[in-house]
Amino acid sequence: DETGDDKLYARFWQPKMIDGVIRFDRPEDCRVRKFIRNMSVKRFDTGKSFRPVSQEPLVLEGLA
């Protein structure tokens, strides 16, 4: 939740390449924003919506 309100925005920027390295602006520095839709913040809980990386091999092998 970056904005603190229940709205989804798309941010647009123009990346810059300097000496072969692409520089990306920080999200808060993007001047062009477009409102997409109202949306509630999704809550992430360990064990429900994601699992620790250390458990992933066990799940893939059917051991957890």
Domain-embedded: residue 3: yes
pLDDT tens digits along 6-51: 888 899 988 889 999 998 888 888 889 999 999 888 888 877 788 8
Residue 23's H or E segment, with its range, is strand 21-23
Domain-embedded: residue 15: yes
Q: How far apart are CA 54 and CA 50, in angstroms?
A: 12
The 8-class DSSP code of residue 57 comes to: H
Position 38 scores a pLDDT of 94
Domain-embedded: residue 22: yes
Domain-embedded: residue 55: no
Of residues 4 and 39, more confidently modeled: 39
In the chain, the amino acid numbered 42 is: K
Is the separation of the CB atoms in 10 and 44 below 8 Å?
no
Domain-embedded: residue 48: no
Domain-embedded: residue 19: yes
Here the tokens at position 27 are 């999200």
Range of the structural domain that residue 28 is part of: 1-40
